[in-house]
Amino acid sequence: MNHIARLAELYLNLMERVLLGVIYEDPPIDQWSGGVYNPVLRAKDRDWPAKAHTMIGFERLRNLRVLMSHVIGDQVPGDFVETGVWRGGACIYMRAMLKALGIVDRKIWVADSFAGLPTPDSVRYPSQDQGDLHHTFKALAVSLETVQENFRKYDLLDEQVRFLKGWFKDTLPDAPIDRIAILRLDGDMYSSTMDALQALGHKVSPGGFIIVDDFGAVEGCRRAIQDYRREKGIDEPMQDIDGIGAFWRVSASACSSSHGVGINLDAQLPGQVPRRSVEGEQAAA
């Protein structure tokens, strides 16, 4: 590795630690992790940090880096999208990676209500989100201005970052996104996961990835993924990240158009990413 590549790696390593609040041992604000900073919980997204800019944990941030390296290395066309950004940390990290690699022809799309999660929609989803309480968590509502300010703090707010403000069902279907290399779903609920997939899933390039932040943690999210994959006949295996997050790689046959030339869809992912399938998912999907 030359020293420029090494510097980029060190920059991203430091970004991870800052974005996660590891440096100053930012304590959690959720009601289940005891109010005391615990590096093990932080690494696996088992807590909500008080001030840090992402809650997705070290393993899922690192997974994002590995998958981004993979699509960039394979020249998989498209932008990077997260639906459900909270304080923006995962998107800030993706922007940092593009910056570190000098990539100027891809964008980061930052989609959120910037007002928390919606109340369950009993008309469009009569039973799927019944009783879901995510909308009551005020800590999940972070304004657009705050998220933009967070990007600015890292000197990463520029024209390569685009914001989509509003409910996914309203903003995503007509979003001016052409192709997607990585779609990162982090909307927690069945409706939020399904709305994002229905609007954007077909735009993910062959060789691109769909990451599901809450696959192993939130039943509604998991069911939305299973329903979507069944409906579309998707049988690429779900790969586990850390016991909660999971992803699959989009194959040429699952996409309406193919940009597949030169993309090795069977390539093993480097290091960090466990290749085991998520237990039980295949039978259910």
Ligand X SMILES: C[S@@+](CC[C@H](N)C(=O)[O-])C[C@H]1O[C@@H](n2cnc3c(N)ncnc32)[C@H](O)[C@@H]1O
Chain residues binding ligand X by CB under 6 A are 54-56, 82, 84-86, 89-90, 112-113, 116-118, 140, 167-168, 186-189, 192, 195
Q: Which is closer to ligand X, CB of 72 or CB of 217?
A: 217
Q: Which is nearer to ligand X, 81 or 263 (CB)?
A: 81
Q: Name the residue nearer to ligand X (CB basis): 21 or 89.
A: 89
The nearest distance, CB 49 to ligand X, in angstroms, is 9
Q: Which residue is nearest to ligand X (CB)?
A: 84
Q: For ligand X, give the closer residue by CB, 140 or 183.
A: 140
> DSSP of 204-254, one letter per residue?
EEEEEEEEETTTTT-HHHHHHHHHHHHHHT--SPPEESSSS-EEEEPPGGG
Nearer to ligand X by Cβ, of 79 and 82: the residue is 82
Beta carbons within 8 Å of 54's beta carbon, 6+ residues apart: 19, 20, 61, 86, 87, 88, 89, 90, 92, 93
**Residue 248 C-beta: closest distance to ligand X, Å:** 18
- Is 20 or 263 the residue whose CB approaches ligand X more closely? 20
Is the CB of 160 or the CB of 193 nearer to ligand X? 193
User: Smallest distance, Å, CB 110 to ligand X?
Assistant: 10
Instruction: Tell me how far, at minimum, the Cβ of 19 lies from ligand X, in Å.
Output: 8
